[in-house]
Structure 1
Amino acid sequence: MHIGRHRAVLGALAVGVLALSACGTDRNVTNADLNPELRELEVDCGTTSVVAEGSSAQKNAMDVFARDFGVKCPGSHLNYTSSGSGKGVAAFTAGQVDFAGSDEPLTGDEVEAARQRCEGNPAWNIPMVFGPLAVTYNVPGVRDLTLTPEVIAEIYQGRITRWNDPAIERLNPESSLPALDIVPFYRSDESGTSANFQKYLSVATDGLWEGEGKTFRPGRGVGQGRSGTDGVTSSVEQTEGGITYAAWAFPKNVGLDIAAIDSGSGPVELTGESAGRAIESARVSGQGHDLRLDLDSLYGNDAPGVYPIVLATYEIVCSDGYDAPTARSVKAALRVAAHAGAENLEQAGHVPLPPEFRKKVLESVEAIRE
């Protein structure tokens, strides 16, 4: 256990992210400080700053994008307000921001509202920010642990209650698992993290998990709810036998152990590379330059070396209908964002776009009409 470290390390994480954000206006940061691809990227910067709003899950990545955009386009700014996906989409459809960040593509009435905002043209859903979700645990003496989606589901359903359960022992023959009660923690607040984790469990277990939506639905009387990512991760850190799901940045930077996932082709550790393989193979269900994803193809990916628990979030943009200066600046900001480097993104808990997937994203960005 690491009792007492959590607040200090989370503080350090926050400082690191703030430092990235601050770099956007730091005169000492130059083009030479960027990753090689971004250094060589030619950008038609436009003449206006870009205003966006939405998903809190994108905030840390947006800090990276804003810094890079400020370096590549001196005098221009990417100003992102982290207010939640719903508020971001509402601000976009009201014409208050240039694009919205959202944990989900546009649905229902949002599609028509966005069309009206875009002067009668369709809005496109462009997936640009990907954040892996980690299954993190606190089992004394066990630093390497493999779980399957079925075992995770049964833990949260209350069918597996001790760490030395035969189902877990079979997956970890070289580990000495203690006869310790499993203490599952889950988000008590409505959360896009919970929605995507439940979607993953449902797809990966062929329906064994029946919960869905932003409210997590464990078995009756199973586990303990906590508010926010800080709430669940700090509870795991302080509880022997604890387990939870959380955005990668928190357990990674706090130093909590993270389980490998066996989807049927062997254990896969969570890394930028293994999460990137899931993104690379995700299918697009949208038409043309609308890149909404088929989440079944993401969460149901059982290929070797793939870590499939990845939260995909979107930038909602007008395909046409911007004035020319705004269109040029939006395209510049998104072009820079697509080339963000692995080091800074992984520090912020995200992974860079794999090369082939990035090509699809850039094709959509370039197709925005000026």
Structure 2
Amino acid sequence: MKIKRYSAPAAVLAVAALALTGCAANESSASPSESAPASTLTGTINAAGASSQSAAQEAWIAKFQTANSGVTINYDPSGSGAGRTTFAAGGSDFAGSDSYLKDEELAAAFGSCAPGTKAVDLPVYISPIAVIFNVDGVKNLNLDAATLASIFTGDITTWNDAAIVALNPDEKLPATPITAVHRSDDSGTTKNFTDYLNQVAPDVWTEKPADPFPYSSGEGAQGTSGVVSAVTNGVGTIGYADASRAGSLGVAKIKVGDTFVGYTAKAAAAVVNDSPLVADRAADDLAIQLNRTTTDASHYPLVLISYAIVCTDYADAAKGELVKSYVGYMASEDGQKEAAASAGAAPLSAELQSKVAAVIATIK
């Protein structure tokens, strides 16, 4: 992964909605193992944030609690914005977010952190964003960024619009009205989706990326599960969601260069590995500025990085040890394999994993 830092755009942390609870703990960032010494950690970790992490968090918690019976982990996938707000107020011990902290957020105080210290962004989960659809009689769908943007701004309103037909000459597209479903809550998935559209089709998608969906068109739904449900149960629907939640819905291919590309974990990871760190941040803040303008068909630029936002120095040292252990496991090689198996996530590269581990080692 490139380590040159470019100028930092304002970005917001995001988190998604679902409540996960389990017992867990570990004394190092290594994966829990039956052969490892019994854990002596005790206590509770409360976290909130990105719903994109839901499947991975379920697997991480289950695995971690198998080796650590003295720790309880509660993860509330309330959405990126809600998770970020809860963490800043001191109501949680770390946040999950599909976008990194904005500069103004970094400058504020964090309730769980020791006075005068800060929070940092640590990548722990990489996943494609799937463009999901439910259109009667349509199994395959190709979309370029400009057409996708026009659908979500409300400028394209029927499935047999000439722009969609031109991209799908072999499909029989109906005259059904389009219902474009977006997140109604502040969402890091929305921020990544709109960042892709703004970078690749800026003449159509003129709004800057942000957690709230910027247009009044379409239909809003709460959380990833709400979007998936609305697309599944609607007619002529299209939406966007973490690829782990696409299920049996149709998934569009997006145009990269001259090729229509479907998502894979490998293609998503390739975009992350070719993107720089955000400029002008502390050395231990690993926020990544995704470059989505690639024309390389081995890349899938509609990707999200979900972060664990943690204190570098916790007001409660015992809490810091718990977070250090659990987040360390999430980002470890075994933790990344667990996320890949359970959620189809793309593992962090060895280089990025090493950088994350180095920062986690300093948490206190």
Q: TM class, shorter-chain normalised?
A: 0.7 to 0.9
Q: Could you give the per-residue CA deviations for residues 144-177 of structure 1, whole angstroms, max 9, x where no partner exists?
A: 222111110122234434434443344334x233
Tell me the TM-score normalized by structure 2: 0.76
CA–CA distance in structure 1, aligned partners of residues 134 and 85 of structure 2: 40
* SS of match in other structure, 1:276: helix
Q: Could you give the per-residue CA deviations for residues 25-71 of structure 1, whole angstroms, max 9, x where no partner exists?
A: 8xxxxxxxxxx977599799662335132214234332222222223
* SS of match in other structure, 2:194: helix
Q: Which amino acid aligns with 1:261?
A: I
Q: Which amino acid aligns with 1:183?
A: I
Does the aligned pair in 2 maintain the 1:187–1:229 contact within 8 Å?
Answer: no
Matched, 1:126 2:126: no
Does the aligned pair in 1 maintain the 2:98–2:192 contact within 8 Å?
Answer: no
CA–CA distance in structure 2, aligned partners of residues 236 and 89 of structure 1: 27
CA–CA distance in structure 2, aligned partners of residues 93 and 224 of structure 1: 30
TM superposition shift of 1:258: 0.3
Counterpart for residue 65 of structure 1: 60
Does the aligned pair in 1 maintain the 2:134–2:238 contact within 8 Å?
Answer: yes
Counterpart for residue 51 of structure 1: 45
Q: Which amino acid aligns with 1:129?
A: Y
After TM superposition, the structure 1 = structure 2 runs for residues 1-370 of structure 1, keeping only pairs within 5 Å, are: 47-57=41-51, 58-107=53-102, 108=104, 110-114=106-110, 117-173=113-169, 175-187=170-182, 189-192=184-187, 193-211=189-207, 212-218=209-215, 222-252=217-247, 255-285=248-278, 286-295=281-290, 297=291, 299-321=292-314, 325-338=318-331, 339-342=334-337, 345=340, 347-348=342-343, 350-368=345-363, 370=364
More helix per residue: 1 or 2?
1
TM superposition shift of 1:179: 4.1
Does the aligned pair in 2 maintain the 1:50–1:98 contact within 8 Å?
Answer: no
Does the aligned pair in 1 maintain the 2:50–2:306 contact within 8 Å?
Answer: no
CA–CA distance in structure 2, aligned partners of residues 158 and 96 of structure 1: 38
TM superposition shift of 1:288: 0.8
* SS of match in other structure, 1:177: coil
TM superposition shift of 1:269: 1.0
TM superposition shift of 1:244: 1.8
Does the aligned pair in 1 maintain the 2:61–2:73 contact within 8 Å?
Answer: yes
- Identity value in percent: 31
CA–CA distance in structure 2, aligned partners of residues 135 and 284 of structure 1: 26
CA–CA distance in structure 1, aligned partners of residues 40 and 120 of structure 2: 21
CA–CA distance in structure 2, aligned partners of residues 77 and 116 of structure 1: 18
Q: State the Cα RMSD in Å.
A: 3.6
Matched residue count: 334
TM superposition shift of 1:86: 4.6
Q: Which amino acid aligns with 1:312?
A: I
CA–CA distance in structure 1, aligned partners of residues 360 and 344 of structure 2: 24
CA–CA distance in structure 2, aligned partners of residues 359 and 46 of structure 1: 26
Q: Which amino acid aligns with 2:194?
A: Q
More divergent stretch after superposition (183-192 vs 347-356): 347-356
More strand per residue: 1 or 2?
2
Q: Cα–Cα, structure 1 residues 360 and 302, in superposed 2: closer, same or farther, change >3 Å?
A: farther
CA–CA distance in structure 2, aligned partners of residues 121 and 210 of structure 1: 37
CA–CA distance in structure 2, aligned partners of residues 357 and 44 of structure 1: 29
Q: Cα–Cα, structure 1 residues 21 and 319, in superposed 2: closer, same or farther, change >3 Å?
A: closer
Q: Which amino acid aligns with 1:216?
A: F
Q: Cα–Cα, structure 1 residues 41 and 67, in superposed 2: closer, same or farther, change >3 Å?
A: same
Q: Which amino acid aligns with 1:49?
A: G
CA–CA distance in structure 2, aligned partners of residues 41 and 270 of structure 1: 37
Counterpart for residue 13 of structure 1: none
Identify unmatched segments of 5+ residues in structure 2: 1-17, 25-29
Tell me the TM-score normalized by structure 1: 0.75
TM superposition shift of 1:307: 1.7
Q: Cα–Cα, structure 1 residues 319 and 120, in superposed 2: closer, same or farther, change >3 Å?
A: same
CA–CA distance in structure 2, aligned partners of residues 239 and 85 of structure 1: 25
Q: Which amino acid aligns with 1:125?
A: D
* SS of match in other structure, 2:277: coil
